[in-house]
Homo-oligomer: A and B are copies of this chain.
Amino acid sequence: MVKITALDTFDVRFPTSLDHDGSDAMNPDPDYSAAYVVLRTDSPDGLSGYGLVFTIGRGNDVQTAALAALEHMVVGRPIEDIVDRLGDFARELNGDSQLRWLGPEKGVMHMAIGAVINAAWDLASRRARKPLWRFIADMTPEQLVGQIDFRYLTDALSPAQALAILREAEPHKQARIAQLETEGYPAYTTSPGWLGYSDEKMLRLARQAVQDGFRTIKLKVGLRLEDDIRRCRLARATVGPDIAIAVDANQRWDVTTAIEWLKPLESVGLAWVEEPTSPDDVLGHAAIRRAVAPTPISTGEHGQNRVMFKQFLQAGAVDLIQIDAARVGGVNENLAILLLAAHFGVRVFPHAGGVGLCELVQHLAMADFVAITGKKEDRAIEYVDHLHEHFVDPVRIVRGRYMAPTAPGFSAQMHPDSVSDHLFPDGLVWRELSLTVDD
């Protein structure tokens, strides 16, 4: 009987703030980081499960401590007790009555729970020798519904309604799998759009993105209105009318500011406006959406749990949503959110970038295509070309599309050398930086 023998944690940080990569209106100096977790087993073949929480630097130690606090719920258990009953496992972790007080189901503790749940799904799909998207797609509708905690959802989506959506997809799964393996899944890119970049660099990268096959680009906005107008118009003039341009305000505005700010940008023809205000403000997004229609409004990368997504959809507060693989309670909660979105007929444009978020979230989008909505050409997964070299199974982007992963698992495993070199504060990279600063 194979058992979980350890839950190991690692505070991994990349000094990205040196290059202004990832800078936006709220986050001027991120050091892209991962609180990384490995579930080890005593399987002779070295089977392990990998997960992570993405953070942007300070506080990654707090996130790592939250991962370690879950050790007692995992270590020593037979792996069948986890990987063959992932829905129960997720409910156990979310339901711990004492840890629940630290949320409930939000913030540091919820992200830690999500990462351990994701590591369990990684373990389960590695054991099944399937990439995660395929592992999910091969579940029956009944098995998939069993993964979901419907608590607080039933006024919007019942288990029976979820089952009906999944059963409708069932006969089409094999054809969709073949289609996905041939065509891949559309990507969009944020690489040109960071606020710290010059106009020249932004336009060069935008042209490059179009040449590389991307059909949508995203620019960061929200710091100075005149800059946003200039950058958006320059971008539109450069990429032409056929490329979609989205903007991302990263929660910068109050409701009334958002409405005023977005008027002069309307003529650019935006694909969507992302995170115009607080990610907690359902009613605020609804007010903004009504005021700036038909400009589409979206949020979700900081959506803390399924209850918030439910309300954004119930209130008609968004035209589309982002999901994030490492913010909510793991695969299980993201399946709930994908089913809610399908039920409300709202498109999902998964959030990615950071450390490993592209690697993770592609599996969820692809599982959605095969097992839930059957749609992919009217949506796209975010793509940022940073830090993929640190992953054992990095994403493969071909002509602006994510190719379906073929390696078993959730693609979250990092190279051991990348982990050890970037350990904070004593890894090689940080020791060298510290010497540079001291000089």
Contacts and interface: CB of A to CB of B under 8 A. Distances in A.
Interface of A: 26-31, 55-59, 61-63, 65-66, 69, 96-112, 150-155, 251, 254-257, 277-284, 287, 302, 304-305, 307-308, 310-311, 314-315
A73 to B, nearest CB: 10
Contact of A65 (B31, B62, B154, B279): B62
B55 A101 contact: yes
Contacts of A96: 58
A110 B109 contact: no
A28 B69 contact: no
A204 B305 CA distance: 41
A162 B65 CA distance: 40
Nearest to A287: B155
A101 B56 contact: yes
11 contacts: A55-B101, A59-B69, A59-B98, A59-B102, A62-B66, A107-B109, A155-B284, A280-B304, A280-B305, A281-B311, A282-B283
A29 B311 contact: no
Given A65-B61, A155-B255, A254-B154, A102 B107 contact: yes
A402 B136 CA distance: 56
Contact of A59 (B99, B152, B257, B284): B99
Contacts of A310: 281
Nearest to A150: B254
B155 A97 contact: no
Contacts of A99: 58-59
B151 A254 contact: yes
A303 B69 CA distance: 24
B287 A30 contact: no
A283 B257 CA distance: 24
A405 to B, nearest CB: 26
Contacts of A256: 154-155
Contacts of A102: 55, 59, 62-63, 107-108, 111
A305 B103 CA distance: 12
Nearest to A251: B104
Given A31-B98, A55-B102, A62-B108, 8 more contacts: A26-B100, A58-B69, A61-B65, A63-B102, A107-B107, A107-B304, A151-B254, A154-B257
A55 B98 contact: yes
Contact of A98 (B30, B108, B109, B311): B30
Contacts of A255: 152, 154-155
Given A98-B30, A107-B107, A314 B283 contact: yes
A283 B98 contact: no
B108 A109 contact: yes
A249 to B, nearest CB: 13
- Smallest CB-CB A-B distances: 5 pairs: A107-B107, A108-B108, A155-B255, A57-B98, A58-B98
Contact of A106 (B27, B29, B304): B304
Contacts of A284: 152, 155, 307, 311
Given A152-B281, A314-B283, A28 B108 contact: no
Contacts of A28: 97
A98 B302 contact: no
A55 B284 CA distance: 31
